[in-house]
């Protein structure tokens, strides 16, 4: 393993010099649009063996994942195979991450499956066409986001929201798969309706189905424990097919997957109405946000681990192209998959070529092998899905939020309950809204530090954090630890006013340290001027120190120097305190 890691880092160093060259050195914009053109030029023959092994291993994981997630999306099993196949044929050309694997995912699949029923009106072929059209819209959204360089959007969805959403998804998926594991037909509706139906119909359990499903689940659990990074799910699928075909499990009431067409579907636009596009937009937006956040998080993780650069904006183009191909190829929305990407990495992938190799193997499966999948028992497929979603329910993260930050825990639980109580699509939107509200809440209440001298030094720090700091008699030292903007400036003014009222003796000077305020807008500047008037009203003067150049320019342009002393870049907090103390002793 150490040798493999060393080899991976060596290849990362060799690729680093070619992956992000400027147009002047790489021959133009095509090298920026297609990062593969850069690393293919540096490709070394000894990398091919590693990429081949990783590609074969990845394909072994993609096949059962495609089948399982298609069932979550309420689509025929071949839809998952088509989505993995066609998206994998193009993603490698555009992605900047060398380890991320494009695939169908449980979260997006169940989102699709839960959102299209009413619009499809009970027509399976229309349902499939709407799912494929959703992938096309996701691709268009990704392309627009790439043009707008909107990769930074991923930073607006907090980790607590993602954890809560995934936990909710895991519980919802469990409520859809447990009836299949127990061998009876499940219900429709939200999590609570499905769960109630499951417990009230346990008497309908088919013991052959339950025994088979539990055996499959046990094999998967043992494989996870003792055969890490091995395609255990593929072995379970093969064992299930062999058992069903040789033991005639269908006669015992075990439901089988059914006919899976062999060969490729007609490539082209899905048959939907133009009026459907508007109805599909909210779902496509939810799928896009989920896919973008997941794919960017994976890319960033691998880039840090292996020492190469990652461009989240470039990944948007990869997501866009992959979803367009999935939609045209009768698949449904795709994104970077966590477990598949980890398999790709542990398989020794050196470049994104491993993903292309996996897609080619998926093509062979669709062309020549998919017919035998009709014998796959539904309880085995349910066990594979349940095993996959166990990783989504991150109880350790929830426990950490509870210990470290109760607000983060509340946010995670709100997202979780939003999924269970309001549905998956609304759960995504609730999570996004919570993220924005959380961001605005923190930005609108910046920390205002009241400073004291660190004993024996000329340095000053927050007295609330360091009670042994020494206050400066007659002076109030204030540091604003945020940009000053129209929506948070009044909070700062209120904090300073409250501190002035709390002082037993009004200070003679208030020193405003703006070193931690990189920006100030016009409205905030007006609030600061009003705050200066408040300070002068209690008989104190105001001095602004350590303001950054852009903030100084704003203050001068708005006439701040007429309200206070000169705003310059030379005076520090220590200098201002010393000048005040010298003047006080005269």
| Residue pair 224/387 in contact by the 8 Å Cβ criterion | yes
Report the pLDDT averaged over residues 346-354. 86
Condensed to tens digits (0 to 9), the pLDDT of residues 160-185 reads 888 888 888 889 888 888 998 999 88
For residue 245, how many C-alpha atoms fall within 13 Å in the half-sphere facing its CB? 13
Structure tokens at 516: 């931690």
| Residue pair 562/533 in contact by the 8 Å Cβ criterion | no
Q: Please, what is the end-to-end C-alpha distance for the chain in angstroms?
A: 73
Instruction: Tell me how far apart the alpha carbons of residues 166 and 98 are, in angstroms, rounded to a whole number.
Output: 25
Give me the pLDDT at residue 428, please.
66
| Residue pair 373/241 in contact by the 8 Å Cβ criterion | yes
- Could you tell me which residues come within 8 angstroms of residue 101 by beta carbon, excluding any fewer than 6 positions away? 58, 62, 88, 336, 337, 340, 341, 343, 344, 355, 358
- For 561, other C-beta atoms within 10 Å of its C-beta total 14
Give me the pLDDT at residue 481, please.
92
Task: Indicate if the pLDDT at residue 24 is higher than 50.
Answer: no
Parse the chain into domains and list their residue ranges.
2-394, 448-585
Structure tokens at 137: 């819209």
Task: Indicate if the pLDDT at residue 489 is higher than 50.
Answer: yes
Task: Indicate if the pLDDT at residue 302 is higher than 80.
Answer: yes
Give me the pLDDT at residue 21, please.
46
Class at the top of the CATH hierarchy for domain 448-585? alpha beta
Condensed to tens digits (0 to 9), the pLDDT of residues 63-118 reads 888 888 898 899 999 999 999 999 999 999 998 888 999 999 988 998 999 889 88
Nearest to residue 573, comparing CAs of 495, 483, 476? Answer: 476
Of the pLDDT bands very low, low, confident and very high (cuts 50, 70, 90), residue 485 is very high
Give me the pLDDT at residue 467, please.
93
Structure tokens at 381: 């497929």
Instruction: Tell me how far apart the alpha carbons of residues 356 and 352 are, in angstroms, rounded to a whole number.
Output: 7
520 DSSP 8-state letter = B
- Could you tell me which residues come within 8 angstroms of residue 383 by beta carbon, excluding any fewer than 6 positions away? 181, 213, 214, 216, 217, 220, 236
Instruction: Tell me how far apart the alpha carbons of residues 583 and 586 are, in angstroms, rounded to a whole number.
Output: 5
Give me the pLDDT at residue 498, please.
94
- For 164, other C-beta atoms within 10 Å of its C-beta total 31
Task: Indicate if the pLDDT at residue 299 is higher than 90.
Answer: no
- Which residues are bridge partners to 477 per DSSP? 511
Task: Indicate if the pLDDT at residue 333 is higher than 90.
Answer: yes
DSSP string, 74-100: TS-HHHHHHHHHHHHHHHHHH-S-SS-
Condensed to tens digits (0 to 9), the pLDDT of residues 388-430 reads 778 778 899 999 999 998 888 988 888 888 888 877 667 767 7
Give me the pLDDT at residue 425, please.
66
- Which residues are bridge partners to 475 per DSSP? 509
- Which residues are bridge partners to 479 per DSSP? 449, 513
Q: Which element (helix H / strand E) includes 394? A: none
Instruction: Tell me how far apart the alpha carbons of residues 380 and 170 are, in angstroms, rounded to a whole number.
Output: 18
Number of helices and strands in the chain (H, E): 25, 7
Distances, alpha carbon 111 to alpha carbons 153, 293, 424, in Å = 21, 15, 6
β-strands 509-513, 541-545 pairing: parallel
Task: Indicate if the pLDDT at residue 490 is higher than 80.
Answer: yes
Structure tokens at 360: 């080619």
β-strands 509-513, 475-480 pairing: parallel
Q: Dump strand ranges (E) for 273-381.
A: 335-336
- Could you tell me which residues come within 8 angstroms of residue 540 by beta carbon, excluding any fewer than 6 positions away? 476, 500, 506, 507, 508, 509, 510
Q: Could you give phi then psi for residue 495, rounded to 5 degrees?
A: -65, -45
Instruction: Tell me how far apart the alpha carbons of residues 149 and 154 are, in angstroms, rounded to a whole number.
Output: 12
| Residue pair 335/105 in contact by the 8 Å Cβ criterion | yes
Task: Indicate if the pLDDT at residue 22 is higher than 50.
Answer: no
Of the pLDDT bands very low, low, confident and very high (cuts 50, 70, 90), residue 283 is very high
Task: Indicate if the pLDDT at residue 464 is higher than 80.
Answer: yes
């Amino acid at each position: 393993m150490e040798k493999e890691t060393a080899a991976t880092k060596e290849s990362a160093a060799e690729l680093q010099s070619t992956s992000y060259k400027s147009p002047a050195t790489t021959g133009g914009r095509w090298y920026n649009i297609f990062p593969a053109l850069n690393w293919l030029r540096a490709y070394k023959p000894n990398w091919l063996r590693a990429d081949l092994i990783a590609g074969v291993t990845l394909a072994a994981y993609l096949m059962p994942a495609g089948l399982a997630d298609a069932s979550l999306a309420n689509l025929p099993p071949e839809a998952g195979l088509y989505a993995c196949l066609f998206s994998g044929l193009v993603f490698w050309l555009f992605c900047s991450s060398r380890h991320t694997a494009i695939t169908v995912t449980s979260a997006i699949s169940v989102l699709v499956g839960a959102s299209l029923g009413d619009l499809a009106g009970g027509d399976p072929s229309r349902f499939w066409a709407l799912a494929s059209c959703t992938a096309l819209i996701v691709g268009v959204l990704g392309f627009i986001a790439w043009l707008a360089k909107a990769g930074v959007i991923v930073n607006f969805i907090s980790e607590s929201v993602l954890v809560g959403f995934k936990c909710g998804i895991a519980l919802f998926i469990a409520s859809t798969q447990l009836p299949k594991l127990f061998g009876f037909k499940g219900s429709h509706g939200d999590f609570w309706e499905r769960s109630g139906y499951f417990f009230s119909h346990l008497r309908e359990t088919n013991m052959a189905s339950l025994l088979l499903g539990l055996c499959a689940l046990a094999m998967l659990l043992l494989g996870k424990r003792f055969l890490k990074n091995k395609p255990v799910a593929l072995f379970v699928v093969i064992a299930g097919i062999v058992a069903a075909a040789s033991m005639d499990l269908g006669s015992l009431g075990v439901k089988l997957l059914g006919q899976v067409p062999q060969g490729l579907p007609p490539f082209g636009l899905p048959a939907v109405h133009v009026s459907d596009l508007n109805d599909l937009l909210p779902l496509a937006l939810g799928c896009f946000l989920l896919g973008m956040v997941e794919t960017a998080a994976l890319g960033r993780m691998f880039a840090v681990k292996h020492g190469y650069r990652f461009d989240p904006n470039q990944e948007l183009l990869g997501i866009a192209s992959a979803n367009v191909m999935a939609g045209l190829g009768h698949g449904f929305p795709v994104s970077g998959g966590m477990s598949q990407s980890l398999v790709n990495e542990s398989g020794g992938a050196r470049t994104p070529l491993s993903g292309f190799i996996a897609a080619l193997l998926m093509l062979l499966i669709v062309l020549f092998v998919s017919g035998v999948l009709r014998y796959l028992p539904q309880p085995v497929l349910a066990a594979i899905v349940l095993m996959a979603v166990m990783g989504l329910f991150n109880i350790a993260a929830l426990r950490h939020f509870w210990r470290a930050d109760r607000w983060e825990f509340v946010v995670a639980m709100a997202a979780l309950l939003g999924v269970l109580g309001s549905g998956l699509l609304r759960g995504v939107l609730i999570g996004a809204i919570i993220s924005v509200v959380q961001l605005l809440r923190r930005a609108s209440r910046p920390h205002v530090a009241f400073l004291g001298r660190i004993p024996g030094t000329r340095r000053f720090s927050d007295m609330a954090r360091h009670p042994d700091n020494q206050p400066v008699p007659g002076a109030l030292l204030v540091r604003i630890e945020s940009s000053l903007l129209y929506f948070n400036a009044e909070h700062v003014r209120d904090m300073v006013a409250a501190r002035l009222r709390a002082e037993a003796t009004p200070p003679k000077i208030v020193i405003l340290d703006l070193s931690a305020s990189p920006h100030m807008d016009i409205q905030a500047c007006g609030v600061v001027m009003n705050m200066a008037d408040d300070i002068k009203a209690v008989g104190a003067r105001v001095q602004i120190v350590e303001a950054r150049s852009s903030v100084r320019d704003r203050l001068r342009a708005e006439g701040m120097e007429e309200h206070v002393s000169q705003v310059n870049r030379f005076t520090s907090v220590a200098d201002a305190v010393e000048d005040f103390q010298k003047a006080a002793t005269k």
